[in-house]
Amino acid sequence: MGVPHQLTVNGSASIGPIQPTACPFPSSTSSISLAVSRTCQVARADSVSFNTPSPGWTSLIAGLTISAVRFLVVRVQSGSLILRVTSAAGSQELLPVSDFLVLSLPIAGTELTAVDAQGTANMELIVAGDP
């Protein structure tokens, strides 16, 4: 088995009201920490120009010895993609991505067993998991 990979995500997502600068009311902001740190046995980071028109699909984990995807980050520019993800339970979902998507699935039974893409875009990808 290869060297484990340490995956780290930092930052937060927040939302608050847009107020004119002269507004006397205090602003309230809701924020969610995006901090995640995981150790996975298999990982891939890549930047590719992607062109798989419908009805075709291209696997994003082909060539990896990964059977349980625990973490997935996709950043899309200059286009859009549809991800087809398959859960450990066997269900498939289609997820449109035109900016970015982050999935963190550390608990057994929540992992993905297949990740495929369709569309035309420039894509950055990080996928990590276990054999």
Residue 25 above 60 pLDDT?
no
- Residue 5 pLDDT: 87
pLDDT in tens, 88-116: 999 999 999 999 999 999 999 999 999 99
Take residue 118 and report the two structure tokens written for it. Answer: 């369709």
Q: What is the 3-class SS of the chain, one letter each residue?
A: CCCCEEEEECCEEEECCCCCCCCCCCCCCEEEECCEEEEECEEEEEEEEEEECCCCCEECCCCCCCCEEEEEEEEEEEEEEEEEEEECCCCEEEEEECCEEEEECCCCCCCEEEEEEEEEEEEEEEEEEEC
Residue type, 80: S
CATH numeric code, 40-130: 2.60.120.10
Does 20 score more than 80 pLDDT? Answer: no
Domain boundaries, the chain: 40-130
What distance in Å separates the CA atoms of residue 112 and residue 126, rounded to the nearest whole number? 14
Q: What is the pTM of this model?
A: 0.83
pLDDT at 128 over 90: yes
pLDDT of residue 30: 78
